[in-house]
Amino acid sequence: MTTLSGTDWLVILAGVAAIAWVNWYFFVAGRAPAKRTEHKD
């Protein structure tokens, strides 16, 4: 098994961070709770 270089580790870390960000941005940040509105009848 070949050992991973420093660049490889950098790419892996960047990749994991990118995946985390994509999922946070589209699934979490986009679903922020809607503002509460008051209804007056």
- The site for another protein (CB under 8 A) is made up of 4, 8, 11-12, 15-16, 18-19, 22-23, 25-27, 29-31, 34, 37, 41
Residues 6+ apart with CB under 8 A from 40: none
The whole-angstrom separation of Cα 28 and Cα 40 is 31
CB of 3 to another protein, least distance (A): 11
Q: Smallest distance from the beta carbon of 30 to another protein, in angstroms? A: 3
Q: How near is the Cβ of 2 to another protein at its closest, in Å?
A: 9
- C-alpha span between 35 and 31 (Å, rounded): 12
